[in-house]
Amino acid sequence: MSESINRVLTNPVESGKLPGVVGLVADDAGILYQGAFGRRAVDQPAPMTLDSVFRIASMTKAITATAAMQLIEAGRIGLEQPIGELLPFTRDVQVLEGFDAAGKPRLRAPAQPVTVRHLLTHTSGYGYDIFNADLGRYVAAAGLPSILTCRHDALKVPLLFDPGTRWEYGIGIDLAGRIVETVTGQDLDTYFHQHIFAPLGMTSSSFRPTEAMQARMVGTHARGPDGTVAPLSFEFPQDAEFLMGGGGLYSTAADYLAFCRMLLGGGTLDGQRVLKPETVRLMGQNHIGAIDVPKLRSDNPQMALEVEFFPGIVKKWGLSFLINMGDLPGGRAAGSLAWAGVHNTFFWVDPASRLTAVLMMQLLPANDPAVLETLMGFEGAVYGAFAR
């Protein structure tokens, strides 16, 4: 049954479209498929392996949301709690309405406070300066650092709209990570290791890669205008003032599959409980009401291409996952939970079909056509092989 999946993953590697790829699939009983193909980097001979270490970028978000939900379970924070009570520097946040003729930002007070739920659902009004041109213009004019610098001042940006009125991808989960650190008195790396990674046996996941992890690190790459793939240097600063709960983790496909299996299992894996079953169910529900997740726009095509996942299917957001509200023909069922990382790493958890999968590559821009073709082929092959 694995041959069709192997073909989907080997074809783009053998044709030179992708340097390397790792894919894993599991159900309630355990791993159904695992495969690693190609090389870790185009300029190195080391083969891609199942334990290769990737920059998982925004796949960090689901783990940060899990940490926040653990604190909600414990009664230490609340979903409807205004974040100004937890992060004082956000109390006077303003909404950016645009710029006047002289280029001065036009700011006003928000109509309502930002809550923890808003952060976890990307409805807070916080955007990304690296993807939103207006916010990027404000950050440059105000002399603020970009979010990728991991400086505290990068979080002191205005909102792009009133909380709860729109969906826009942004730094909300980074702020949720700062809430976890503030409430627990631990940095995210320490908290994650104690409360998520250790229980799930995720020994190769960290914000700070060990020497052993660095020895298995996959190189980053960029697709050039001529379609070729070349090495690209992309690392977070070593003097980071905060750990990016929205995108700073390094991990392996095998480790991340353990996290996904925990979600598929209602918060438990191999007898280790990370979340209560009712919490996992809550995380998998629509938390943005009548708002739909729109096409993902980007003003930075070198980093990410615009994309609409699952065209024609209504998409919602949970805590904190993309949720497809309809079945994908030949693929995941309605109500599946998913997201991705900017370096083209992907996961989904399909409670209805009792399947979960992880697919990892390491290439910019996000949503590269060859990557999306591989992802769609992988999903189709997975369900062709294992759907009940």
Residues recognised as catalytic: 58, 61, 169
Largest interatomic CA distance in the chain: 64
How many CB atoms lie under 10 A from the CB of residue 142? 12
Q: d(Cα 137, Cα 134) in Å, to the nearest integer?
A: 5
Closest CA to 250 of 58, 53, 24: 53
Type of residue at 115: T
Residue 233, preceding peptide bond in cis (omega within 30° of 0)? no
Q: Which amino acid is at 325?
A: M
Q: How many residues does the chain have?
A: 388
Measured between alpha carbons, how far is 211 from 321 in angstroms, rounded to an integer? 31
- How far is 137 from 129, CA to CA, in rounded Å? 8
Q: Which helix (H) or strand (E) holds 232?
A: strand 229-232
Tokens encoding 343: 């370096």
Beta-sheet strands, E only, within 143-288: 220-223, 229-232, 250-251, 268-269, 272-273
Distance CA 320, CA 338 (A): 9
| Dist CA 218 CA 212 (whole Å) | 13
Determine contact, residues 150/244, Cβ cutoff 8 Å. yes
